[in-house]
């Protein structure tokens, strides 16, 4: 078996907290949500399994040696969390739409897509748009997937499932884009504002930072 | 390729920036040496990502050496020395350039079409040379031809969906990134190539949309705007979030795919790839969508000072 410490990228004498930290960082990196709908979900699953096993092995080893480290820090994740795998099934759906849901749940997206396209335009309601969005999301057709989720939400604003699918897309994109939006320099305005705030604080304490104001 | 895949140089460390430039110059040199100096005129930043991803997945680290280049023969520049990833990129660039010229012959009229016809003579011989040097590229050549024909058919049919229109180019790049790699790495490369191919197509479409609206050339965003009865600039403003999310989620899938490659974060190219996918492409997307209609300069000023082509 591969060295569990090597898998987690920590040394053998690392503290329990460091091991937990390394484990959590890796678990976040290979979290199934990051590979939802991806062709590489199986590879990510294997990687996650390897990390979990390594962490469990280390925890067991240390518990046997009487280490004081906690063994309850395992990373929990919700294996669902994607629009395509969180269907609750609805009794009110037409039989065809239920069949499509089953196909999507079993990963047969192209068959689901063909069935969806066979439904006449006049019969395409909110659920049809939602399911269409799910099949497109899996293909990586994000533009159209978002469009269909938006239509589904517009047609049935009270449906939590449709709202969740749209929100999930937005959150994933937003979190990824955060790296970019978080960077940015300090403009002249930011600098002046900062100085004025610091001056106000100093004046409150009886001092003065900027004599001119 | 179009030059949209480039890093946000302001966020690169000095040694990462030097590495990126060395790879860029290495691609140029490799095109010049392995195929033809004419091919190096078609160099785009996008090819640098292809080299770096191929190196990362094949475990090649490459060697940086000071070498002379045609653009400035008196001054030696640090370049990535010839390696498998560079040769592969030069050869595939020759194939892609030729098909790009053929596509332009079909699209243009009058004097421009005549000019492209003349240009197709050397590009055809470059393609033949690449295939002679690397006969294993023949299936890739056939895929390129098939995908670009499919793209042309979609364009002629007036495809409304930007995703459907981006699909053939995404598929082409997926195969191009993955060709010759095995098992897991092939799957990773295909995912990365497909995602960035879609990004390139959509960014180019958004960048050219106002121009295409005037000229009447095919553009999926113009088609969508027409069906909504608004101008394409209004369409891009209204649906900005959708377009931005599409690019971000595509980059995200490419980024997470690469994380599955063994030892990716230890590779010298990783920091440049990381920057490119998490900062560079989002930055270009923002620039394009912030100023629809003002054709984005395809030259990054910070890279352009001694990189003659973008």
Q: Do A146 and B242 touch (CB under 8 A)?
A: yes
According to the model, what pLDDT value does residue A89 have?
Answer: 39
Q: Give the three-state DSSP class for B65.
A: strand
Q: What pTM, to 2 d.p., does this model score? A: 0.82
Q: Do the first three CATH levels of A4-64 and A87-182 match, i.e. the same topology?
A: no
pLDDT over 90, % of chain B: 60
**pLDDT digit string (tens) for B172-224?**
999 999 998 988 999 999 999 999 999 999 999 999 899 888 988 899 999 99
Give per-residue pLDDT as tens, B6-63. Answer: 899 999 999 999 999 999 999 999 999 999 888 888 888 889 999 999 999 998 888 8
Domains of chain B: 9-294 (1.10.600.10)
Where are the alpha helices (H) located in chain A, listed in sequence order?
4-8, 16-29, 41-64, 95-105, 109-118, 126-139, 142-155, 160-182, 188-204
Tell me the pLDDT band of A65, cut-offs 50, 70 and 90.
Answer: confident
Residue A66 phi, psi (nearest 5)? 80, 25
Distance CA A92, CA A127 (A): 11
A178 CB within 8 Å of a chain B CB = no
Work out the pLDDT band at A186, boundaries 50, 70, 90.
low
DSSP, res A75: P
Q: Which of A136, A143, A183 sits opposite B242 (nearest CB)?
A: A143
Query: Which CATH number is associated with domain A4-64?
Result: 1.10.287.110
The CB-side HSE value for A40 (13 A sphere, CA atoms) comes to 29
| Spatial CB neighbours of B54, under 8 Å, sequence gap ≥ 6 | B60, B84, B85, B88, B89, B177, B181, B189
| B75 has a chain A CB within 8 A of its CB | no
Domain range annotation of chain A:
4-64, 87-182, 185-213
Residue A76 has pLDDT above 50, yes or no: no
Closest-CA residue of chain A to B221: A143
B184 touches chain A (CB under 8 A): yes
Give the mean model confidence (pLDDT) for residues A44-55. Answer: 88
Rounded distance between C-alpha atoms, residue B20 and residue B55, angstroms: 13
Residues of chain B with Cβ-Cβ distance to A40 below 8 Å are 187-188, 191, 256-257, 260
C-beta atoms surrounding A206 within 10 Å: 6
Give the C-alpha separation, B190 to B179, whole Å. Answer: 8
Beta bridge partners of A126: none
- Interface contact B248, partner A, CB < 8 A: yes
Considering only CA atoms, which of B112, B106, B89 is closest in space to residue B42? B89
pLDDT single digits (tens) B228-246: 899 999 999 999 999 999 9
Instruction: Determine whether the interchain pair A173/B279 forms a contact, defined as Cβ–Cβ distance below 8 Å.
Output: no
Query: Closest Cα of chain A to B203: distance in Å?
Result: 13
Which tops the pLDDT comparison, A79 or B120? Answer: B120
Whether A167 has its CB under 8 Å from any CB of chain B: the answer is: no
- Give me A118's structure tokens: 């066979």
The pLDDT of residue A75: 46
Task: Quick: pLDDT tens for B259-291.
Answer: 999 888 889 999 999 999 999 999 999 999 988
Q: Does the pLDDT value for residue A138 go beyond 60?
A: yes
Q: Cβ separation of B260 and A40 shorter than 8 Å?
A: yes
Domain A87-182 class in CATH: mainly alpha
Q: For an interface test with B, give the residue of A39, A142, A154 to mutate (most B CBs within 10 A).
A: A142
Cross-chain CB nearest to B245 (options A38, A140, A170): A170
- From chain B, the residues in CB contact with A44 under 8 A are 256, 260
């Amino acid at each position: 078996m591969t060295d569990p410490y090597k898998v987690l990228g920590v040394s053998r004498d690392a503290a329990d907290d460091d091991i937990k930290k390394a484990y959590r960082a890796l678990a976040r990196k290979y979290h199934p949500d990051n590979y939802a709908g991806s062709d590489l979900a199986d590879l990510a699953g294997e990687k996650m399994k390897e990390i979990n096993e390594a962490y469990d092995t280390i925890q067991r080893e240390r518990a046997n040696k009487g280490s004081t480290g906690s063994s309850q820090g395992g990373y929990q994740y919700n294996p669902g969390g994607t629009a395509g795998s969180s269907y609750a099934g609805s009794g009110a759906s037409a039989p065809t739409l239920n069949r499509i849901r089953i196909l999507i749940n079993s990963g047969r997206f192209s068959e689901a897509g063909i069935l969806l396209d066979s439904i006449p335009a006049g019969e395409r309601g909110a659920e049809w748009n939602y399911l269409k969005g799910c099949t497109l999301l899996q293909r990586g057709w994000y533009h159209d997937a978002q469009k269909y989720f938006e239509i589904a939400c517009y047609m049935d604003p009270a449906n939590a499932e449709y709202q969740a699918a749209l929100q999930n897309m937005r959150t994933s994109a937003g979190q990824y884009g955060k790296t970019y939006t978080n960077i940015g320099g300090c403009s002249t305005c930011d600098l002046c504002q900062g100085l004025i705030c610091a001056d106000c604080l100093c004046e409150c304490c009886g001092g003065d930072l900027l004599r001119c104001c | 390729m179009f030059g949209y895949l480039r890093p946000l140089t302001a966020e690169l460390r000095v040694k990462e920036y030097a590495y990126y430039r060395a790879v860029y110059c290495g691609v140029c040199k490799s095109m010049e040496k392995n195929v033809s100096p004419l091919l190096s005129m078609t160099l785009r930043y996008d090819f640098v990502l292809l080299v770096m991803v191929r190196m990362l997945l094949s475990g090649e680290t490459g060697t940086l050496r000071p070498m002379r280049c045609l653009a400035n023969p008196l001054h030696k520049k640090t370049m990535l020395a010839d390696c498998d990833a560079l040769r592969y990129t030069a050869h595939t660039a020759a194939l892609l350039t030729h098909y790009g010229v053929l596509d332009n012959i079909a699209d243009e009229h009058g004097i421009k079409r005549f000019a492209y016809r003349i240009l197709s003579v050397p590009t055809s011989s470059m393609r033949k040379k690449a295939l002679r040097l690397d006969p294993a590229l023949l299936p890739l050549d056939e895929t390129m031809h098939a995908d670009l024909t499919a793209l042309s058919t979609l364009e002629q049919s007036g495809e409304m969906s930007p995703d459907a229109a981006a699909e053939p180019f995404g598929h082409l790049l997926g195969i191009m990134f993955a060709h010759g790699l095995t098992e897991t790495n092939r799957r990773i490369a295909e995912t990365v190539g497909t995602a960035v191919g879609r990004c390139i197509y959509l960014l180019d479409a958004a960048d050219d949309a106002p121009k295409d609206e005037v000229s009447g050339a095919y553009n999926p965003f113009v088609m969508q705007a027409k069906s909504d009865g608004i101008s394409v600039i209004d369409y891009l403003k209204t649906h900005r979030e959708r377009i931005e999310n599409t690019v971000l989620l595509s980059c995200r899938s490419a980024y997470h795919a690469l994380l599955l490659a063994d030892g990716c974060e230890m590779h010298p190219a990783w920091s440049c790839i990381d920057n490119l996918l998490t900062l560079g492409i989002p930055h270009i997307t923002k620039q394009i969508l912030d100023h629809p209609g003002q054709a984005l300069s395809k030259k990054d000023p910070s890279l352009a000072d001694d990189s003659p082509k973008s």
